[in-house]
Amino acid sequence: MSHQNLMYLVPIVAIIALLFAFYLTHIVIKEDEGTEKMKEIASAISEGAHAFLWSEYRVLIIFVIILFFCIGIGVGNFVTSICFVAGALLSTLAGYFGMNVATKANVRTANAARQYASNKALDIAFSGGSVMGLCVAGFGILGVSIIYLITKDVDVLSGFSLGASSIALFARVGGGIYTKAADVGADLVGKVEAGIPEDDPRNPAVIADNVGDNVGDVAGMGADLFESYVGALISAITLGVAFLDAKGALYPLLVASIGLLAAIIATFFVRKSKNTNPASSLKIGTYAASTIVFIGGLLLSVAIFGDAKYGMCVVAGLIVGVLIGMITEIYTSADYAPVKEIAKQSETGAGTTVISGLSVGMKSTVLPIMLICIAIFASYYFGDLYGIALAAVGMLSTTAITVGVDAYGPIADNAGGIAEMSGLDEGVRDITDSLDAVGNTTAAMGKGFAIGSAALTALALFVSYAQAVNLKNIDILNYKVIIGLLIGAMLPFLFSANTMASVSKAAFKMIEEVRRQFKEMPGILQGETRPDYKTCVAISTNAALHEMIVPGLVAVLAPIVMGVLLGTAALGGMLAGALVTGVMMAIFMSNAGGAWDNAKKYIENGHLGGKGSACHKAAVVGDTVGDPFKDTSGPSLNILIKLMTIVSLVFAPLFLAIGGLL
Amino acid sequence: MSHQNLMYLVPIVAIIALLFAFYLTHIVIKEDEGTEKMKEIASAISEGAHAFLWSEYRVLIIFVIILFFCIGIGVGNFVTSICFVAGALLSTLAGYFGMNVATKANVRTANAARQYASNKALDIAFSGGSVMGLCVAGFGILGVSIIYLITKDVDVLSGFSLGASSIALFARVGGGIYTKAADVGADLVGKVEAGIPEDDPRNPAVIADNVGDNVGDVAGMGADLFESYVGALISAITLGVAFLDAKGALYPLLVASIGLLAAIIATFFVRKSKNTNPASSLKIGTYAASTIVFIGGLLLSVAIFGDAKYGMCVVAGLIVGVLIGMITEIYTSADYAPVKEIAKQSETGAGTTVISGLSVGMKSTVLPIMLICIAIFASYYFGDLYGIALAAVGMLSTTAITVGVDAYGPIADNAGGIAEMSGLDEGVRDITDSLDAVGNTTAAMGKGFAIGSAALTALALFVSYAQAVNLKNIDILNYKVIIGLLIGAMLPFLFSANTMASVSKAAFKMIEEVRRQFKEMPGILQGETRPDYKTCVAISTNAALHEMIVPGLVAVLAPIVMGVLLGTAALGGMLAGALVTGVMMAIFMSNAGGAWDNAKKYIENGHLGGKGSACHKAAVVGDTVGDPFKDTSGPSLNILIKLMTIVSLVFAPLFLAIGGLL
């Protein structure tokens, strides 16, 4: 078989993965949903999640139509516009299927726990999560490979990537605002004012809170990684064709296909694992998939290029991705010193809790950045600028299993919520709690992975951008580049300030609504009247879509304005500035938030005075600050840096035509 | 008179300024110190401040000796080493004289307030502050001009700048840790645990707290601006000689001389002002000095170059410096919306206080960065890379009056503390409080000015560095530059994490000591036994010097390691990365801290429930977080970015000799 015919294998692998996802969906759905009460709650969550999706789609469709024409006219190529729509559509489909099965897996996981079948509960939750992972990677390589096979034109591929980015913006930023508005709002009135426990069905915001887990942590995370996955592939294809030949496009797609097959194999390791510790089962899956890509990537490099050097780039990215996940665990898990130190600092009050959490978050940037630098060094050494894109592909090759493990977390969390709201036994709750605790760690690792891969992807796209606008260099001694660098570095601060303020504003509306319901319907707190869940869901939905507009416009317009006014070099500076500051802020905020969360849980588990102590109250303040940090602002920065770069790449022909006006 | 002879005017102006500082010292000292009790307290503060200085000098002398030989051998030029010692010595002298008179002005200000002579109190406090301002600028241009006149060698000047930076490291970072360890420690035990008011003489940490104002806010600020002042001048001289001729060195020195004379004139505006509002008096001084430099800078440009264009660069820097101060006021003063919003968010608890303060701080980066970019654009347009250095000189030309106004703040603060501790009337305290309130605003504006000028200075020094290592460009597409950029951007996070953790650690020691004294000497709280102030002073002193070592080593070693391992281009990337992230973080942290502080004061002034309300308690948490933000970590970043750049500049010959090892 000739090398180019191998390309046809890629969509076939994608279809195998999607069929396997379909099979796993079937595995989940055939399980029993449990009691009537459980069904009722699960359907409320599912309805809320779908309500959000449909509202999102209504806004999205306008956005897509406008951009369709902007791209077609601005770039002068409507094929790019069509690719843009394809990217948006496939990302939407991946998110829809993934979230749909997640909202079915949650109640079935709870029901398995009700039968004290904890291995089965793990299997259902993980299978549900895996559907999202397989859809992300499957639709990703399906779209990229088919467009490439049809058009044979690498320039239009950036449109596909922009489509993926647009959905990621809505899902990650909007979803992040949604989930934290509901969470903070539910906590502040429910736990603090009314004194009812978390996930209590009397809390009108409780359904919105559980919907938020699906919207933000499943769909948001999935769209974020779909964007990175597609971006890394497209950048590798673009640079591969530019620096080498068609082999340079084939190799990254085959590596991604190996990764996807490896993920399918790895799901069996997890699901058939007899290990009693769910954390170990999940880790085995990730390591198994990584090992397969490690070997496969090197062999394939020798087979295609007659040299292992490009394989080394893939391996560099792969290893660094796994290590960043581990480091994230050290900074955010209560098993290690940093989180314990935050818990200890809570003894002298909320002020010192916050200071030490900020300090831990800032310090946690050091090792991931060092690792990313090592990956850059090694991949450039072996494969030049193309190597950097390959490192990103390598890191993201295990996306299917990583997203699967990550989406497991919110499913387990939801299962716990359903168990609590349905009044199931404490023993059942113990099982869901143990599954959920693992979910917290995997979520933090997943965030670290998402940031690291976003950084490498944005860097690879940045190189593609420079290629597209014919920049031989981007010189920091050029005053326009300095200006670009400064403004770019400022944007993540503006973006984070906006998203944090949005959460505050939306949470405040939620608080007012919950207070109103408690006041006007006294029967709610007595457990006699059913609260009005739908209004709370609507508040989160509207807030998410409304508050997303300004950050979204900033991300799309900033590069266009800079490119038109100060030209391509200044825009290059701006992308670099946003990239470096965005990565630091994303790591800082995600890890600080994760560390505060687990410091609070550590105290709740009976340390330092336990639940209700002054120390615990201080830790709760840290956790409240950490909520928008780790679930809204931090992850949204991944989108900002990728979206700005991809917008610059797509509109490169426009900047070349206009030049810098100033 | 030939152009070059004009150069001899510069040291003459410097000597006039120093004589004027001597005269103002005399004005302050001749005033009465007040009651015995006041004298006793003032001498305890003065002793503590001197104790810190002498301890600092002991460490400093070792540091200076080591660096003396490192520079001489590493660079191969012991003249640079001698310049280094001169820079360190003159900065030390400026700090010593300035702090000495500050610790004399505080009690005399309190005594003037005791006689209800509020204009006189303002005069004494401002005169005391002006001594620091005049010493900073006077010793600055004295040293630079004499070295240049003697050696006629611009390369050795960087040694002088490194000397200034070394003192700034000790004074700003050490001083910042000192002042917040004492402040946080005193507050947490005194106000929270023992329930005694601020500045109560029964609190063993109260003297250390008042010493901290002098050490951190007077000496630290002075050394920071001495470094910027000297750095801007030296960079302008270096680039002026490189791009133009000897005129290029003459012009910035003459602009600085005009600024110094303008500051002397402006002090009369402030001191003779019949305005009843001290804030207006102080502002008039700054504006008067700026106007003189504005006109003088343009005329001088025409006289020397036959063209106003270089004057335009100076004016650009000057205007942006004033505007940044105003913007800082908007984000940190309770007269405007952001601080009121933080206060309002305190109604829903400490979590929302912290979130909104972080959000305000992040958002406050936008306008200052835009202004700095405009200054870069304009100054480059008029004067190329040399123009950027001139903009820094223009911004810093009013340093004498800016530092004077700024150092006024801690003197007024100390005066209030002395009035409280000496049990003076409430009416006296009202006068010192009104002076102190103005000091809070001027302090915030001074911080904004310090950051803005540090950014421009670091940028100018960065250009000088590229010149020194013969880099024609620093290309962000070069993977080594990307690695440098990422590691550079990470360093401000590491540095801030370290300095914040240092404050926590030192404050904890202070808390333990105060608790011990309260326990072992029950007479203290009854007001019968005099607490042991000296031990607390010693704790802050030792902590400051000990905790400074790691951040100091990071700042000095990081550029050397990078330059030796990855070469000059990577080092250029690292400096750029540290510069952009450092500036953002410094603005973010300083403004968030200032905003929290004033939100708390706004509530204490009777809004939203006033002192003691739940809202106030939440605001106190914000203020506690803000303390290390605004007085330790934020300002320390100014030092980091300048020191790293100046180290790179000084060791340029070393990097050229070795090249990148990797």
Closest partner residue to A479 (CB to CB) among B369, B377, B498 is B377
Q: Could you tell me the two tokens for B654?
A: 């070393």
What's the per-residue H, E or C state across B340-365? HHHHHHHHHCHHHHHHHHHHHHHHCC
Contact B406, B369 (CB under 8 A): no
Chain A, nearest residue to B503 by Cα = A355
B573 contacts A373? CB cut-off 8 A: no
* Radius of gyration, CA atoms only, chain A: 23
pLDDT, averaged in runs of 10, over chain B (662 residues): 82 97 96 93 92 90 93 91 96 95 96 90 94 97 96 92 93 91 85 80 90 90 95 95 92 97 92 75 89 97 95 96 92 93 92 95 97 97 95 96 92 92 89 84 83 94 93 93 97 96 89 90 88 91 89 92 95 97 96 94 91 91 94 94 95 88 81
- Nearest-by-Cβ selection for B354 from A354, A361, A583: A354
- Asked if the Cβ–Cβ distance from A355 to B504 is below 8 Å, we say yes
- Judge contact between A169 and A64, C-beta under 8 A: no
Distance CA A461, CA A459 (A): 5
In chain B, residues with a C-beta closer than 8 Å to the C-beta of A370 are 487
- Secondary structure string (H, E, C) spanning B322-335: HHHHHHHHHHHCCC
Which of B443-465 are b and which e, b meaning 16 or more Cβ less than 10 Å from the residue's Cβ?
Answer: bbbbbbbbbbbbbbbbbbbbbbb
Residues A532, A129, A169, CA angle at the centre, nearest 5°? 70
Contact list in B for residue A479 (CB cut-off 8 A) is: 376-377, 380, 385, 388
Return all residues near B240 (Cβ < 8 A) that are at least 6 apart: B247, B248, B249, B250, B251, B252, B386, B389
Tokens of A221: 């995370």
Which residues of chain A does B483 touch, with a Cβ-Cβ cutoff of 8 Å? 373, 376-377
Q: Provide DSSP, B551-605.
A: HHHHHHHHHHHHHHHHHHHHHHHHHHHHHHHHHHHHHHHHHHHHHHHHHHHHHHT
Nearest CA in chain A to B481: A476
In angstroms, the separation between the Cα of residue A229 and the nearest Cα of chain B is 22
**Residues recorded for chain B:** 662
Q: Which residues contact A603 (CB under 8 A, 6 or more apart)?
A: A343, A346, A609, A610, A611, A613, A615, A616, A619
Residue indicated by tokens 């391996």: A315
How many helices (H) and strands (E) chain A has is answered by: 23, 0
Indicate the residue of A490, A583, A625 with minimum beta-carbon distance to B369: A490
Tell me which chain A residues have a C-beta less than 8 angstroms from the C-beta of B471: 477
pLDDT band at A118 (very low <50, low <70, confident <90, very high): confident
- Asked casually if ipTM beats, i.e. exceeds, 0.90, the reply is yes
Nearest by CB to residue B493, choosing from A362, A385, A481, is: A362
Which tokens go with B413?
């603060």
Tell me the residue range of the domain where B198 lies.
3-658
Q: How far apart are CA B397 and CA B262, in angstroms?
A: 9
Sign of CA dihedral B574, B575, B581, B582: positive
When scoring B193, B346, B355 by the number of chain A Cβ atoms within 10 A, the one with the most, hence best to mutate, is B355
How distant is the Cα of B236 from the closest Cα of chain A, in angstroms?
A: 16
Q: How far apart are CA A407 and CA A228, in angstroms?
A: 17
Dist. CA A343–CA A353, nearest whole Å: 7
- 3-state class of A199 per DSSP? coil
From CA A306, how far away is CA A328, in angstroms rounded?
37
- B292, B277 Cβ separation under 8 angstroms: no
Calculate how close chain A gets to B554, using CA atoms only, in Å: 13
Alpha carbons B98 and B131: distance in angstroms, whole number: 6
In B, minimum Cα distance to A499 occurs at B359
C-alpha distance from residue A438 to each of A364, A403, A435 (Å): 21, 15, 5
Most B CBs within 10 A among A381, A388, A493, A574, hence the mutation to make, goes to: A493
Amino acid identity for residue A359 in this structure? S
Q: Which amino acid is at A368?
A: P
Structure tokens at B196: 């005694």
Interface mutation target, options B324, B362, B503, chain A, most CBs of A under 10 Å: B362
Suggest the residue from A188, A477, A480, A509 to mutate for an interface test with chain B (most B CBs closer than 10 A).
Answer: A477
pLDDT in tens, A375-429: 999 999 999 999 999 999 999 999 999 999 999 999 999 999 999 889 898 889 8
For residue A537, the tally of other CB atoms under 10 A from its CB is 27
Question: In A, which residues are within 8 Å of B580 by CB distance?
Answer: 485-486, 489, 577, 580-581
Contact at CB, A581 and B576, closer than 8 angstroms: no
Distance from CA of B107 to the nearest CA of A (A): 32
Which of A459, A473, A475 faces B482 most closely, judged by CB atoms?
A: A459
- Where residue A478 falls among pLDDT bands split at 50, 70, 90? very high
Contact assignment for B366 to A490 by CB distance below 8 Å = yes
Maximum alpha-carbon separation in chain A? 75
CB contact at 8 A, B460 and B646: no
Contact A359 B504 (CB under 8 A): yes
The pLDDT value given to residue A650? 93
Give tens-digit pLDDT for A200-244: 888 999 999 989 989 888 999 999 999 999 999 999 999 999 999
φ/ψ of residue B475, rounded to 5: -95, 115
All residues at 6 or more sequence positions from A284 whose CB lies less than 8 Å from its CB, including other chains: A266, A269, A270, A273, A275
As a whole number of angstroms, the distance between CA A251 and CA A305 comes to 9
To test the contact with chain A by mutation, choose from B359, B360, B503, B554 the residue with the greatest count of A C-beta atoms within 10 A, namely: B359
Question: Do A377 and B494 make contact, defined as CB atoms within 8 angstroms?
Answer: no
Between CA A370 and CA A329, with CA A364 as vertex, the angle to 5 degrees is 100
Tokens of B307: 């063209």
Q: Which two tokens stand for residue B113?
A: 């307030």
Q: With bands split at pLDDT 50, 70 and 90, how would you rate the model's confidence at A645?
A: very high
Q: CB-based contacts of A460: which residues, under 8 Å, 6+ apart?
A: A231, A232, A235, A236, A239, A388, A389, A391, A392
Out of A348, A497, A624, name the one closest to residue B351 (CB). Answer: A624
Which pLDDT value is given to residue B416? 92
Give B577→chain A minimum CA distance, Å: 8
CA distance B320 to chain A (A): 15
What's the pLDDT score for residue A116?
85
Which tens digit of pLDDT belongs to each residue from A33-92?
999 999 999 999 999 999 899 999 998 999 999 999 999 998 889 999 999 999 999 999
Nearest CA in chain A to B359: A497
Nearest to A625 among B351, B366, B490 (CB): B351
Beta bridge partners of B475: A475
> Are B80 and B72 contacting, i.e. CB atoms less than 8 angstroms apart?
yes
Q: Where are the beta strands (DSSP E) in B240-289?
A: none
Mean pLDDT of chain A: 92
Q: Which residue of B has its CA nearest to A362?
A: B493
Q: Which residue of B has its CA nearest to A378?
A: B479
How many interface pairs between A and B have CB atoms less than 8 angstroms apart?
Answer: 218
**From B504, which residue of chain A is nearest by alpha-carbon distance?**
A352
Which residues are registered as beta bridge partners of A427?
none
Nearest-neighbour CA in chain B from A183: distance (Å): 13
- Nearest Cα of chain A lies from the Cα of B269 at a distance, in angstroms, of 37
Q: Taking Cα atoms as reference points, which of A84, A81, A251 lies closest to residue A161?
A: A84
Give the count of domains, chain A: 1
Per CB-CB distance under 8 Å, the chain B contacts of A573 are 476
Are B355 and A625 an interchain contact pair (Cβ–Cβ within 8 Å)?
Answer: yes
Torsion over CA of B110, B112, B118 and B120, rounded to 10 degrees?
-120
